[in-house]
Amino acid sequence: MSDEQPQAHAAAFLESLREVVGLKSALRETRDDVNVPMIRHWCDAMSDHNPSYTDPDGAAKSVHAGVVAPPSMLDTWAMVGLAPRGEQLSDDGRPVGMLPVMEKLDAAGFTSVVATNTSHDYMRYLRPGDRLRLRSFVMDVSPQKKTFLGEGHFFTTATEYLDAKNQVVGRIEFRVLKFKPGTGTISVDATAPPGPLPRPRPAISRDTKFFWDGVDQGELRIQKCKGCSALHHPPMVRCPKCGGYDLGYVVASGRGTVYSHAEAHHPQFPMFDYPLVAVLVELEEGTRLLTHMVGVAEDEVEIGMPVELAIRATDPELNLPLFGRARPPRRETTLRFEDVKAGDDLDPCPVPITPTLIVGGAMASRDFQDVHHDPDLARKRGSPNIFMNIMTTGGLTTRYVTDWAGPEAILRNMRFRLGAPNYPGDLMTFRGQVNSAAPRGGKGIVEIGVQGMNQLGAHVSGTLELELPRR
C-alpha cells in the first residue's frame, strides 16, 4: 500500500468532520429561566459569598440594583441535567453542532474526550427571570495531532446565548480534544496523585484518643479542663493549671496564625516530603500546635501569617491535622480602578479539593457525567479518581478574582486553559497578578492573569477582564 492512500483517507475524514463547521443550530430554549435556587446551589458549592448573587438587600443597593447570577454560570443554564441530550438541528433540519463530529470521531476510534480551553464573554449579567435561548456551531476541527494524551482532533464549538429581546448576552467557546486512548506518551499512572506515604504512626493512648478520633472526623479537638476551663495541647492526663482530672474538649475553629517556623534539612527520612516545613500554629482559641504546612513553600512562611486547618490523608489509614495558607478575606468594598496598577499581586488563595467540592460543583452546574461523582466509573474510564469539572474550575476562578476586586467589580470575560486534573485530597492554590489596567471609554478595565496550581502542576491558567468603578 502506498503512503498516499492513508493520507488521502485522513484528508477525506477531516473534510467529513468539517462538514458542519460554521453551521448554526436553530435557537433552542434553556430548560429553566435564570432562577434563585440554582444561583444559591452554585454559590454554596463554590463557597462564593458575593452579596450580589444571594443577598437581595445588598444587591439592591449595588451597581446591579438587584440580585444577579454569577457570570460563570452561563453554560449551566443550558445544561439539560439527566434528561437525554437532544440532537441539534439547523433551521433547515440538518444535524449540526458537536454531536455529528463526536459520533464520527467515536466511530473512528477517537473515543476519549478532554476539555482543554474555554473562553467566556459576558455582555451583561443575567437576572432571575431571564429566559435564555441558545444556538451553537462548530468553529473549527483540527487535523489529526499527536498529544501527550494520545492522537486526536481538537475542535472548538461556540455557543451564543440570547435573551427574550433577542440580544446576545453571552458567548462561550469550548475546545476539546477527542483522542484514541492508549496512543499517548503518558500512562494513566503518570496522572495519578502521589501514592501513599508510609508516615510514622502517632502513638495513640487513652488520653489522646479523642484527639485522633476528631482528626478522623475532620475536627481539631483541644483538651479543656471541666474544672477551670483551661485549654491545653498536647492532651495531658491532668490539668496543668488546677490539677483536675475531669477533662473534656472543645472543637477548634481551625483558624490560627504562624507563631514560629523552621525547616528540617538533615537527616532526611523517606517517609516525609521535603522541603519539610514545621510550624508552631497559634490557634484562635489561644493554644499552640506543632504541625506541618501544606501548599506553602518555606520562604513563603512568615510569623503572623493567617493559616487554616487542612486535614490530609497521608495514606489510607492516617489523617493528619496539617495547616495551609488561610483563604484571603473577601473584599466588601470594591477596589477603585485608580488603586490598581499593572504588576500588583493578588494574595494567594488555597482551595482544598474535597469530594464535596467536586461533586457539589458538578451537581450545581447540572453536570451529571459519572467521572465527576462516581469513583468506580471514573476508574473504568482510565482516571484514578473522580475529578473536578470545567464549570467548577470556572466558578472558583471567578470567585478568586471577584473576592479580590469586590462585589461591584463586573466580569467581562474569562479565558483559560485546563491542565492537571483536580483530584480529591489535593490542594489547589490560586495566584494572580494584574497584567494591565487601562481606562477604556470612561471605564476602568483591568486584566488579571490567574494560575491554579495543584500537586501535579497547573490545573488552570488564564486571564479575566474586570470593569472597576472609577473615582
Site of interaction with Zn ion (CB under 5 A): 225, 227-228, 230, 239, 241-242, 244
Q: Tell me whether residue 133 or residue 288 sits nearer to Zn ion (CB atom).
A: 288
| Nearer residue to Zn ion within complex by CB, 7 or 229 | 229
Of residues 306, 309, 314, the one with CA closest to residue 276: 314
* Residue 232 C-beta: closest distance to Zn ion, Å: 9
| 318-325 and 288-294 strand pairing | parallel
Nearest CB to Zn ion, comparing residues 230 and 264: 230
Give me the least distance between CB of 205 and Zn ion, in Å please: 20
Smallest distance from Zn ion to CB 240, Å: 8
Indicate the residue among 227 and 348 with the shorter CB distance to Zn ion: 227
CA 281 to CA 438: how far, in whole Å?
A: 41
Residue closer to Zn ion (CB basis): 227 or 384:
227
Helix (H, G, I), strand (E, B) or coil at 192: coil
Residue 42 near residue 73, CB atoms below 8 Å: yes
CA atoms within 13 A on the CB side of 159: 22
Minimum CB separation from Zn ion for residue 281, in Å? 23
Cβ closest to Zn ion, residue 239 vs residue 358: 239
> In the structure grid, which three cell numbers stand for residue 402, read together?
471577584
Judged by beta carbon, residue 69 or residue 225, the one nearer Zn ion is 225
Q: Is 164 exposed, middle or buried (0-12, 13-18, 19+ CB in 10 A)?
A: exposed
d(CA 272, CA 147): 34
Q: What kind and span of H or E run contains 212?
A: helix 209-216
For Zn ion, the closer CB: 215 or 239? 239
* Mutual angle of helices 36-46 and 355-364, in 10-degree steps: 160
CB of 243 to Zn ion, least distance (A): 7
The least CB distance from residue 215 to Zn ion, in Å, is: 24
**Least gap, CB of 242 to Zn ion (angstroms):** 3
CB 42 to Zn ion: min, Å? 47
Give the length of the chain: 471
Q: Which three-class secondary structure state does DSSP give residue 111?
A: coil
Task: Find out whether 323 and 294 touch, Cβ atoms under 8 Å.
Answer: yes
Residues 6 or more apart in contact with residue 86 via CB below 8 angstroms: 28, 80
The answer to whether residues 32 and 133 touch, using CB atoms and an 8 Å cutoff, is no
CA-nearest of 7, 77, 13, 12 to 42 is: 77
